[in-house]
Amino acid sequence: MPIPIETFFLDPDAEGTLQGRIQQMIAEGILSGRFQKNEKLPSTRRLATHLGISRITVTLAYTELLANEYLTSKGRSGYYVSPEAPEPPQFKPLPKSEEKVDWTRAIAKHYSETSTFEKPEDWARYKFPFIYGQTDPSLFDHANWRACAMKALGAKDFPSLTADYFDRDDPELIEFIARQTLPRRGIIAGPDEILVTLGAQNALWLSTQVLLNQRRKAVIENPCYPALRDILYQSRCHISAVDVDDYGLPPHRIPNDSSVIFTTPSHQCPTTATMPLQRRKALLSKAQALDALIIEDDYEFEMSFLTPPSPALKSLDEDGRVIYVGSFSKSLFPGLRLGYLVGSAAFIREAR
């Protein structure tokens, strides 16, 4: 694979001859790992034109690097990074500039102190890997995914792939969500009531930004999705954590001054408890009495193997107070980072 010519540049403040600076530039690229073994370098003519110097200077630098086994020549094919490139003592790394910014004063709000989880890269090697959100390659439909990718990347669908929809979402994706995904949960929604997001976590963040402030109270389940707690802390709203039981969030324990209720009724995160139908209706009645809104995080409704999934809260809602959060992380894969919000057109307009 050729090395992009844009990665080559000369430091105008560096000392030494042009030939020596070119040698040092390439050697440091190899020693730092930016230039990999057997990668092709630009031709002497192209590099000279790119750097605005004489071609003979580049040729001499390449010749010297060839002699020191940094590079190898393959006849008319050109110059390549040698697989036997040594580490010469004469080329010292350029010193890094010292930062002058006091980041403890420059950063207005700190987010790195929130709880984060690290997933080991070799999690699949563990005997009992308690890791969520991973894809089983043996269950993934590689053939259909490849066919869809080839179709999407073809010339016929190029305008759809590359078009700038400005503040709109892809109309075909919206249509798929409205006609194929939401009806499975008993939800009927129009295009102006659906917003595509960068995963369910982004949908929760948008909901928090639109609905909560320092004067309002959010109710969360205890325990809950860890990222949700971090999102709410950043919004500086009041937070009330309500202990869940075997059937999820108990409506009678919700404080009377609550503004927004976050819940995972299909599979409570992380206990996996499923909220029965009667409790779902009781939760809707409680929210109606408080004039509160409900954020229904239906992140994995597809994962129902023993019995059919219970109706979504959104499908039982007659007041428009339930905002539905969905995701393709479980039905496809989490790296896709694709989710959606479903709610009143007035809410979706602000979230967009």
Q: From the centroid of its chain, how far is CA 15?
A: 42
Q: Which residues of 65-81 are buried (b: 16+ CB within 10 A; e: fewer)?
A: beebebbbeeeeebbbb
User: How do residues 83-142 score in pLDDT, each as one tens digit?
Assistant: 888 664 555 566 777 888 888 888 877 766 665 667 777 877 888 877 776 777 888 888
Q: How far is CA 258 from each of CA 60, 242, 291, rounded to the nearest angstrom?
A: 74, 12, 9
Contacts of 63 (CB under 8 A, 6+ apart): none
pLDDT of residue 194: 93
Q: From the centroid of its chain, how far is CA 233?
A: 20
Q: Which of 219, 347, 192 is nearest to 283 (CA)?
A: 219
Fold of 168-351: Aspartate Aminotransferase; domain 2 (3.40.640)
User: Helix, strand, or coil here: 298?
Assistant: coil
| 5-81 CATH | 1.10.10.10
Q: How do beta strands 260-263 and 293-297 pair?
A: parallel
User: How do residues 218-276 score in pLDDT, each as one tens digit?
Assistant: 999 999 888 898 889 888 899 999 999 999 999 999 999 999 999 999 888 888 888 99
Q: Which of 26, 42, 38, 40 is nearest to 83 (CA)?
A: 38
User: How do residues 197-212 score in pLDDT, each as one tens digit?
Assistant: 998 899 999 999 999 9
Residues of the chain with CATH 3.40.640.10: 168-351
pTM: 0.71
Residues of the chain with CATH 1.10.10.10: 5-81
